[in-house]
């Protein structure tokens, strides 16, 4: 059996589910777009092709194998976008929590049943229907759990609002010993430069005490300021609205020292190296056209 263990974003990774780009189906119609960035590329005729995304994801898998990580992949479902494993489930401590996701994405969860089969059933949690929560909004950080949310009365109107207040409360109930800190995110259906789809689209801790952050992704300045105080301004890499749009905060930590990043993130990658990180650069710009990047594509199962 697999002994789940995730208490932070950076401890050495031992096992992960990485999504797949094969069989991702035709270009969606505009009304079927999940997020404004996908919509933009659908309308512009630049939506990514399967044959361009497959090599990007294989480059990611190759980096994992280089670092001795056990990599699980979803079973193939034809004409189903299975790239973003973070949307379907996430792990906190020794529990895997099924995300309550957009209804027509349920089959994506069934594609990882071969992984669930090697996890003790009592360690798999199924939130009630009123709980909306996705892994991109949830970040375990030692004695804290950071959660992105949107609690506006117009929540049902936003397909980009993925985690509701009931989701925050559910995590607090399941992990009473943790300090759950929620952050209201800026949501916009039409402008991808003004939309933080998940918390990891505008913030992510890296290394022992550093983080990448975009102030404009947060609706409440005091919540942004809380993070600045928590990490210290000198430990933050501040990204612009355009860098948020490019998904600069959505890198992935294999360990406290090793970060996987997009090869075009020159400013970020130079900063990371200056901070002493080993940066594994891979091409991932085609995947990013769907509104997610490296962290979105992963479901970490075991960290040391």
- By the 8 A CB rule, do 109 and 299 touch? no
pLDDT at 250 over 80: yes
pLDDT value for 156? 58
pLDDT at 227 over 90: yes
Q: Cα 109 to chain center, whole Å?
A: 16
Q: Please give the mean pLDDT across all residues of the chain.
A: 92
Which helix (H) or strand (E) segment holds residue 166: the answer is helix 165-174
Residue 240: Cβ within 10 Å count = 14
- By the 8 A CB rule, do 302 and 14 touch? yes
pLDDT value for 238? 98
- By the 8 A CB rule, do 250 and 201 touch? yes
The reported pTM is 0.93
pLDDT bin (cut points 50, 70, 90) of residue 102 is low
How far apart CA 126 and CA 121 sit, in angstroms, is: 11
pLDDT at 29 over 80: yes
pLDDT at 62 over 60: yes
pLDDT value for 25? 79
Region of poorest pLDDT, from 1-10, 31-40, 123-132 = 31-40
Q: What is the CATH number of domain 13-303?
A: 3.75.10.10
For the chain, percent of residues with pLDDT exceeding 70: 93
pLDDT in tens, 69-94: 999 999 999 988 899 999 999 999 99
pLDDT bin (cut points 50, 70, 90) of residue 55 is very high
- By the 8 A CB rule, do 43 and 30 touch? yes
Residue 29: Cβ within 10 Å count = 8
How far apart CA 41 and CA 43 sit, in angstroms, is: 5
* DSSP β-ladder status, 70-72 and 13-18: parallel
How far apart CA 30 and CA 147 sit, in angstroms, is: 29
Domain ranges, ordered by start, for the chain: 13-303
pLDDT at 279 over 70: yes
């Amino acid at each position: 059996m697999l002994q789940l263990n995730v208490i932070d974003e950076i401890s050495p990774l031992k096992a992960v589910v990485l999504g797949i780009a094969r069989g991702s189906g035709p270009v969606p119609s505009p009304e079927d777009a999940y997020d404004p960035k996908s919509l933009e590329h659908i309308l512009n005729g630049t939506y990514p092709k399967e044959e361009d995304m497959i090599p990007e994801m294989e480059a990611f898998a190759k980096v994992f194998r280089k670092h001795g990580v056990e990599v699980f992949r979803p079973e193939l479902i034809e004409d189903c976008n299975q790239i973003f494993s973070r949307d379907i489930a996430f792990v906190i401590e020794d529990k895997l929590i099924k995300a309550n996701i957009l209804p027509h994405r349920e089959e994506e969860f069934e594609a990882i049943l071969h992984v669930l089969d090697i996890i003790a059933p009592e360690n798999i949690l199924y939130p009630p229907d009123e709980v909306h929560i996705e892994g991109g909004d949830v970040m375990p950080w030692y004695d804290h759990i950071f959660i992105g949310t949107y609690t506006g009365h117009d929540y049902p109107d936003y397909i980009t609002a993925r985690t509701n207040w009931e989701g925050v409360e559910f995590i607090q109930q399941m992990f009473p010993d943790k300090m759950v800190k929620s952050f209201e995110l800026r949501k916009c259906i039409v402008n991808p430069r003004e939309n933080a789809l998940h918390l990891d689209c505008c913030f992510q801790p890296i290394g022992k005490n550093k983080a990448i952050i975009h102030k404009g992704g947060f609706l409440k300045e005091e919540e942004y300021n809380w993070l600045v105080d928590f990490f210290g301004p000198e430990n933050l890499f501040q990204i612009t609205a355009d860098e948020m749009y490019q998904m600069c905060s959505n890198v992935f930590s294999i360990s406290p020292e090793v970060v996987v990043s997009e090869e075009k993130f020159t400013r970020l990658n130079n900063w990371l190296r200056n901070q002493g990180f080993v940066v594994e650069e891979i091409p991932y710009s085609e995947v990013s056209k769907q509104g997610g990047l490296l962290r979105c594509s992963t479901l970490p199962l075991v960290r040391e």
